[in-house]
Each structure stands twice: as C-alpha cells, then as structure tokens.
Chains A and B, each alone.
Chain A
Amino acid sequence: MNRKKILLVDDSSTILMMEKFILRNGPYDLVTATNGEEGVRKASEHHPDLILLDVIMPKMGGFEACRLIRSAEDTKEIPIIMVTTRGEAANVEAGWANGCTDYVTKPINSIELLAKVRNFLGDAASEVLQ
C-alpha cells in the first residue's frame, strides 16, 4: 500500500487533534508542527506529500511559512492547503499570492477536507479498500 505523508501545522491542539481524527483512517502518516518555523523545518526534514497549514500562528505565520516552503528547492513542489478561519476574498488572495495550492475554512468540514486531501494525494483511500 502506498502510504502518503501529511504535515499538519497548527498552533491549536484542538485543530491538530481534529485533523488527526479526520485523517486517521486513511493511508496517511501524519507529522505535526505547532508553528510556522517548525512547519518549514519539518517540511524539509520529512518531505511530506501534502501540508495543511494554519494561517495565524506564533513565531511564524502560515503565509510566511508557505513562502519559505515554496522557495526551498526540495519542498517547492509540495501541495499546501491553507487552513483559515477567514474565507474572505482578501485572505484567500493572500494565500494564493504566497503560493498555497488550496484552502479550507474553519470550522473544518471533514468531508470537504478529506475530498481535498484525496484530490491532491490521488485516491489513496480507495487503495485501502482494494
């Protein structure tokens, strides 16, 4: 089975737990970070297949982390889904400008999140069923 690695970056333990809960049954290995700086470091260390990145975090925010991940040669191709409380156009535009691939809004809808994760990682979940 082709397991995929996902890096979850959020300073909220509630959100991290929620994301783990949603993704727990999929063929995913989960790595977590609690701020942007740690997120950038772990992206480089673990080379995940996908990153879920919060926007507002201590030490380093999501947009800056996104920009740094995009600027590094070994992590620039990793798809990044921004997780934001604000769905307004301006915020989404900022996400695109900093190189994010997609975004989901809080409160996280598990069906929406799973659909987006599967979209980026291929339908790896169906491999489990097979």
Chain B
Amino acid sequence: MSADDKNRSYVTVVREELQQYTQGLLRENEKLRAMATALESDKRRLELEIIEARVVLDQQEELRKATENFEAARAEMLTEVARLVQARDAATRELDLLRTRIGDVERENETYAAQYHQIENQSSNLSNLYVASYQLHASVERETVLSTIQEIVVNLIGSEEVAIFEFYEDAREFRLSSSFGVDRLRLKSFKAGSGPIGKCLNGGEVFVNDEVAGGDDKLTACVPLKIGERIIGAILVFRLLEHKQALQAVDHELFELLSIHASTALYCANLHSQVANTPLAVLA
C-alpha cells in the first residue's frame, strides 16, 4: 500500500470518525435540546406552581383574615347573645311581674265591677222607693192616690192584677175601692178575719208569697194599709207579669213602703175629700 493510499485511508477513517463524532455531537445536541425543552417545560410548570402557590398563600392569608374576622364576629355575637339572654331573662321576669299585676288588676276590676253592679242595683232600688214615695204623696186627690197605688204595683212591682180595699169599721168588712185586671164582682168585699185573706190581714203584717213565679194565678202579696196599728185597708197583688220570674228584695221594700205610705196617702186623701165636701161654716 502506497503512501497515498495510506493517507486516503487515514483521511477516510478520520472523516468517518469525524462524521461519527459529529453525529454523536448531533445526537448529544438533540439530547441537550430535548433536555432544554424538558427543563423549559419544568421551568414553566414550576412558574405555574409558584403562581398557584402564591394564590394558595393569598387564599390562606385571606382565610386567616376571614377566620380572624369570623372569630371577632363570633365573639361579638356571643357577647350579644349573652346580652340578649340577660335581656330575655329580665323581660321574662318583667312579664311574670306584669302577669301577676294583670291578675291583680283583673281581680280588682272584678271586685269593682261587682261593687258597681251592687251600687247600680241599690241606686235602682232607691229610685224605685223614692219614686213610689214621691208619687204617693204628690196628690191629696183620692182617685189620684188610688191610681198611683195601682201604677206602683203595675210599673214598679210588675203585676197587672191588683185590688185596693178599704176597711169599713161599722160593717167589719173590706170593700173594693179600685182594681186593675181582676174580677171586680168576685173581689167585691170580704169580712175581716174570715177567709184566707181576712185571716192573713189579722196579723197586720205584709204577706208575700215568694214561691210565686211570673204568670202564676196565685195571691202574690197581701199588704195591709195601716195607720199606726189600725188597719184602714189592704192591697192585694195577684198574678205577676209573665216575664217577671220572681220577686226581688226591692219588691219586699216596696210592699213595706206601700203598707205605710199608701195608707197615709189614702187616709189624707179621704180626710181632704171630707174637708173639701164640708161647708166652711161647719168646719168653723
């Protein structure tokens, strides 16, 4: 082998080695590029992770602040709740006191209402008695007095069956002077001391049948008309009005009042009548 061949062979070898080296370098370069790309990718990923981490940190900071705020608000709320609980307890105590007071006031109110009702009743009863007494002595005319007695029985006691008798000493009998709603013939007269009514008048006390109810066809009251101990007449009260269920305390008072005041009124009216009919010369 010639020197040229040797040189060519050497060159060829070198060239081949150089090519191989170059290719090796190129492959290495490719690897490095790939590594650079991977590193670049890692870098971007890391940058993203950093950004995410910052976001997380920011969020954690916000969360911390929010937690602090929440804790502060919670503490404030607990204070408020405690205050409200105290206020509620105070209000409950106040409510209990008020309920007790309301109960007291209601009881007082009931007492006052009962007293008011009682006073109204008393006032009403006194009105009845005053009106009866006033009316009985408002006139000395016999007919007016008899009519007033009837009115009192009808309008203040509540009966539409009444008979007024006067006692005639000489005949010892009671004779009907005035009546309303009764059979005049049946009740024309009755003897003193005889029959249930005559006997009833013997004692000179007012007889009242408290068992009688409105509409019952029974004697309700027998009222002797007395001047002192002397009986000058009687008022008989029969059927009470349908809607009057029972006699009241004031009715008893009215019967007692009639016993005295109707007698004096009737007695005075009779005297007045006698005087009015007597000539002045006789009186003188």
Spell out A's residues near B (CB within 8 Å): 12-15, 17-18, 21-22, 85-88, 105-111
Find B127's partner among A18, A87, A105, A106 (CB 8 Å cutoff): A18
C-alpha spacing A105/B155, complex, angstroms: 9
Q: Confirm or deny: B62 has a beta carbon within 8 angstroms of a beta carbon on chain A.
A: no
CB A57 to nearest CB in B, in angstroms, measures 13
Decide if A106 touches B154 in the complex (CB within 8 Å).
yes
Within 8 A of A (CB), among B121-142: 121, 123-124, 127-128, 130-132, 134-135, 138
Decide if B124 touches A111 in the complex (CB within 8 Å).
yes
CB A118 to nearest CB in B, in angstroms, measures 13
Return the chain B residue nearest A83 by Cβ: B155
Find A107's partner among B123, B148, B158 (CB 8 Å cutoff): B158
Given the known inter-chain contacts A12-B155, A14-B151, A110-B123, please indicate yes or no for A21 contacting B241, CB distance below 8 A. Answer: no
Note all chain A residues with C-beta closer than 8 A to B123.
110
CB B251 to nearest CB in A, in angstroms, measures 9
Within 8 A of A (CB), among B98-138: 117, 120-121, 123-124, 127-128, 130-132, 134-135, 138
Find B152's partner among A14, A85, A88 (CB 8 Å cutoff): A14
Q: Confirm or deny: B242 has a beta carbon within 8 angstroms of a beta carbon on chain A.
A: yes
**Number of interchain pairs (Cβ within 8 Å):** 64
Return the chain A residue nearest B157 by Cβ: A107
Decide if A13 touches B135 in the complex (CB within 8 Å).
yes
Return the chain B residue nearest A88 by Cβ: B242
Spell out B's residues near A (CB within 8 Å): 117, 120-121, 123-124, 127-128, 130-132, 134-135, 138, 148, 151-152, 154-158, 160, 241-244
CB A52 to nearest CB in B, in angstroms, measures 13
Q: List 10 A-B contacts (CB under 8 A).
A: A14-B156, A15-B151, A18-B127, A18-B156, A22-B127, A85-B154, A85-B155, A107-B155, A108-B155, A111-B117
Decide if B134 touches A87 in the complex (CB within 8 Å).
no
C-alpha spacing A12/B131, complex, angstroms: 12
Note all chain A residues with C-beta closer than 8 A to B131.
14, 17-18, 21
Decide if B242 touches A106 in the complex (CB within 8 Å).
no
CB A54 to nearest CB in B, in angstroms, measures 10
C-alpha spacing A15/B132, complex, angstroms: 10
Decide if B128 touches A18 in the complex (CB within 8 Å).
yes
Note all chain B residues with C-beta closer than 8 A to A107.
128, 155-158, 244
Return the chain A residue nearest B127 by Cβ: A21
Note all chain A residues with C-beta closer than 8 A to B157.
107
Given the known inter-chain contacts A109-B124, A110-B123, A111-B120, please indicate yes or no for A14 contacting B135, CB distance below 8 A. Answer: yes
Find A12's partner among B121, B134, B151 (CB 8 Å cutoff): B151
C-alpha spacing A108/B130, complex, angstroms: 14
CB B162 to nearest CB in A, in angstroms, measures 12
Decide if B243 touches A18 in the complex (CB within 8 Å).
no
Decide if A14 touches B148 in the complex (CB within 8 Å).
yes
Find A87's partner among B148, B152, B243 (CB 8 Å cutoff): B243
Q: Which 8 A-B pairs have the closest CB atoms?
A: A87-B243, A110-B124, A14-B151, A107-B158, A21-B127, A17-B131, A18-B131, A14-B135
